[in-house]
Structure 1
Amino acid sequence: MIAKEKGRNRVSEEEEVGKLFMGIMEGYKDSLIPPLSEFNPLIERTNCEKGSSSSKKRDRTEASEIKSVQNERNRRGKMAESYSVLQSLVPSLFPIPKPSRERTLTETINYLRSLEQEKERLEGLKSSLLQKPVLSGCTTYLMNPSVTASLCNGVAFFGIQLPAKRGLLRKIAKAFEKYHAEVLEVAIYVNDHGMLTLTGTFMVGNDGAFVVEKIKKEILIL
């Protein structure tokens, strides 16, 4: 009897729980049933933490890539600027709109070598002028007129020695202008004995050898 009574009580409790659950769920649709995460905050928090960590790592990677790209752009920009400066300094590159980097470096090396050679030549010329003895009793010191020139990649280096006289520089300038030689740099010196020395660098173009010879002849007859 006692066992039967306990069985009926258990069935009655189960029925009441079932009715209570059905009453709670009666107003819900499938789309309104709360997700499992609402019943388990620990799962939601863990997923959020994982997502946040992954997002931060991805952000750091993207920032590093952006910085690397920017650094590379800056490096290339500085290199391009350096090549532009070289092009503006080397006379043989003036007529070329966009020379290759290989051409720019080659012409720069050749130009530096030609400058070194011209420097040595001018230093030798200066030494010879300083070592020339002055004849005693003479009031003037005249040397034979001379015009020397060297040519490299369309650029000519002139060394001119002439007795100084009125209008000489203007005539020399006209000789260069006549053959369209562009002046890049000129130095002029007149010593105590009335001898004018002019050294200069000139752009003479593709017909450099022809132009140089013509200018030398023009100046020697001044």
Structure 2
Amino acid sequence: MEQQVLTSAKRKRGEHDTQVIYERLRREKAADYYTVLQSLVPTLFPKATRSKIIEETVRYIKHLEGKLDFLKQQQRVQPAQPLQLTQRNPTSTVHLAMSRDMALFSMSFTSRPGLLCRVLQVFETHFAGALTATIISASGISWITVTACEVGASVDRIKRDLMAI
């Protein structure tokens, strides 16, 4: 009988130890999740409490949902009608097709050394990102196309400077 009591006491202690181990693992896992949340939310300080982590995470998710709704509304708005302009002078022609913040410049010039560098310098001067540029030269004429982004309000100045080349 005494041996049975000891065995059942050991069994209870063993069950208790197992529960303690599982609880410790659960707390470690929760701590890891709080650390991950804290690293994902930009407005949290390194020593934030758990309640602050949850509060800021909820606020940040609501902020992102609002941003997503705004972007979805912008997508529903009718796309801007493309703007197309052509300007000519005796030695060059500049065609411009523009939609939103993207622009395609198609130009023809009398061929001369350093022409492409001067064209690209115009875009750099006006902080317009040139995404692609191609040049074809034949029979004393050079055709250059440049696809640029972030041209914005400087499109008229870019066109004017290109015509001056």
TM-score in terms of structure 1 length:
0.41
142 and 64 in structure 1: CA distance in 2 versus 1, 3 angstrom threshold: closer
- 1:132 alignment partner, one of 80, 86, 91: 80
Letter in 1 for 2:13: E
Write the distance in 1 (CA, Å) between the matches of 2:128 and 2:60.
Answer: 27
- 2:65 is equivalent to residue 116 of structure 1: yes
Unaligned runs of 5+ in 2: 87-95, 105-122, 130-145, 152-165
- Return the offset for 1:163: 6.9
The structure where helix makes up a greater share of residues is 1
Write the distance in 1 (CA, Å) between the matches of 2:52 and 2:71.
Answer: 28
113 and 126 in structure 1: CA distance in 2 versus 1, 3 angstrom threshold: same
Write the distance in 1 (CA, Å) between the matches of 2:147 and 2:71.
Answer: 19
TM-score in terms of structure 2 length:
0.53
- Which residue does the alignment assign to 2:8? 57
194 and 121 in structure 1: CA distance in 2 versus 1, 3 angstrom threshold: farther
Write the distance in 2 (CA, Å) between the matches of 1:56 and 1:169.
Answer: 81
Write the distance in 1 (CA, Å) between the matches of 2:39 and 2:97.
Answer: 44
Write the distance in 2 (CA, Å) between the matches of 1:77 and 1:115.
Answer: 29
- Aligned to 2:43, the other structure's residue is in SS state helix
- 2:33 is equivalent to residue 85 of structure 1: no
Letter in 1 for 2:124: R
Unaligned runs of 5+ in 1: 1-49, 144-160, 171-191, 198-222
- Return the offset for 1:135: 4.4
142 and 194 in structure 1: CA distance in 2 versus 1, 3 angstrom threshold: farther
The structure where strand makes up a greater share of residues is 2
Q: How many residues align?
A: 107
- 2:22 alignment partner, one of 71, 75, 82: 71
Write the distance in 2 (CA, Å) between the matches of 1:77 and 1:106.
Answer: 21
- Aligned to 1:69, the other structure's residue is in SS state helix
Cα pair 1:162 1:195 within 8 Å, conserved: yes
Cα pair 2:37 2:53 within 8 Å, conserved: yes
Alignment of 1:195-214 (within 5 A): 195-196=149-150
